[in-house]
Amino acid sequence: MKNKWMTLLLVFSLAVNLAAVGTLVFFWRHNDLPPAPVPPDAPMTRLDRPSREWRNLDIPPEKRREIFLLRRRYQERVMDLRMTVEESRRQVLQQLLRPTIDQDSLDAAIQRLSEKQIEMEKMTIHHLMEMRSYLTNEQWQILLRSMERERRGMQRLPFARKSRP
């Protein structure tokens, strides 16, 4: 009787492990799936959550909704471009990892990367200019200061000391 239970437990354990391995293989092979489209009325994601300064601005709810939809459209457009930039970076890295580097193909890969980065910057600037039409001058200044603080925070190394004022 004990032997039957051990065999049953072994078979069950094997089935669970095979299911886990199958799931891992599936996600490993399908890691290039595009993200699912987000409906405009979906709840906000972590990236959609505004900063503390942004939440404290006196923006009417209808304008806030329009800005939210504008930001969603921008994020959807820029996502494909970001993936293209990452692919271009991988291509440059692959060129650098080769035993002999073909300068022409490396230059072409760098050119593609820089073109996509410039396109992404232009798209971001046009998005900001579109957002500006919804904001007062004071709100616009607060947004820019908040973005600058966020940008500086991303550049700081986690182990670097903070400078004293």
The CATH architecture assigned to 44-151 reads: Up-down Bundle (1.20)
Nearest to 55 by CA among 142, 144, 131: 142
Coil, helix or strand at residue 96: helix
- pLDDT above 90: residue 11: no
Q: What is the pLDDT of residues 99-147, one digit of tens each?
A: 888 889 889 989 998 999 999 999 989 999 998 898 889 888 888 887 7
The pLDDT value recorded for residue 165 is 47
- pLDDT above 50: residue 8: yes
- pLDDT above 90: residue 55: no
The pLDDT value recorded for residue 37 is 55
pTM score over 0.85: no
d(CA 145, CA 26): 44
- pLDDT above 50: residue 47: no
pLDDT interval class at 155 (50, 70, 90): low
The pLDDT value recorded for residue 30 is 64
The pLDDT value recorded for residue 77 is 86
Output b/e per residue, 62-99; b: 16+ Cβ within 10 A.
eeeeebeeebbebeeebeeeeebbeebeebbeebeeee
d(CA 162, CA 5): 61
**Percentage above 70 pLDDT, the chain:** 74
